[in-house]
Structure 1
């Protein structure tokens, strides 16, 4: 017997390098979709270029309201399946989507990368200034830079970014 579909952000696995196309097709079909993109510098022998790449390759986040949305989503060209952990679909919490959006939307945060392994060292702090105010993160100190690690528990991923040190020094949220 099938379980009823819950409303929420599902993780859609898509064909390799089809993330942007799938997101566009989902939106054209009135399905709320989110593809977190990060800017990276790519070097070739003759040029250097800044390109936008998916933070999570082959993943697109989709907000599903009903069974109809679920089946409509899976019928889009380039989609594979919704990610599962055991028998349950991976549903990302709204606050985790907000964390990802905050990390990928501001120019002051650089060197964004994701990691599968959970960090072992560092301290847990709350960012007290800037667009990430109130975000709880783990600090990793390397080469006099403050690197934060934001855990997205529902899909077992970590996002790492470098933030200005003054974001951690103030006690008031200033946006």
Structure 2
């Protein structure tokens, strides 16, 4: 019987393994990715990253496809117990990922931020600093934050994806 399983792959080989396994008949592959802005080389850039680095999901019959999957280049192992029995991934987890997928990427709704909300910067040059939302900027992708960790309070304009409510 075909069920969903999690496969541990070499870091950075998620796409290659997904392509190889998709070419095999009767194996369905889910390689969830996200898009986000990241501060790289002194600029904000849009990047594509795996939602779960080094892991992909496959719907297969373990008795029939185990050998094919196990010896695919880039695969380390099927996630399972010490005896080698792979764990099944519950269908509600797969459904959740498929429901949130748009154009091949997982999209999470950004929480509503209002003036006065306490936030923490999650990435970029102000990583780890706390602040307070002053106001949301147009086109609703940026917020003005008053950083309160510094002795001198600083107003900073940040992309909305970089801040999280505390």
Give the TM-score taking structure 1 as reference length: 0.54
* Residue 91 of structure 1 pairs with residue 106 of structure 2: no
Cα deviation for residue 53 of structure 1 reads 0.9
Tell me how far 1:108 sits from its aligned partner.
6.6
Q: CA RMSD in A?
A: 2.7
Partner Cα distance (2:72, 2:82) in 1: 24
Aligned length: 111
Q: Secondary structure at the match of 2:41?
A: coil
Q: Matched residues in 1 for 2:32 and 2:6: separation?
A: 12
Cα distance change of structure 1 residues 32 and 109 upon mapping to structure 2, 3 Å threshold: same
How far residue 67 of structure 1 moved from its aligned partner, in angstroms, is 1.6
Gaps of 5+ in 1: 1-5, 112-140, 146-175
Give the TM-score of the pair, scaled to structure 2: 0.57
- CA distance, structure 2, for counterparts of residue 19 and residue 11 of structure 1: 12
How far apart are 1:142 and its partner, in Å? 8.5
How many Å apart are 1:86 and its aligned residue?
5.3
Q: Which runs of 5+ in 2 are unaligned?
A: 118-166
The answer to whether the 8 Å contact 1:38/1:104 transfers is: no
Tell me the equivalent position of 1:149: none
SS at match of 1:62: strand
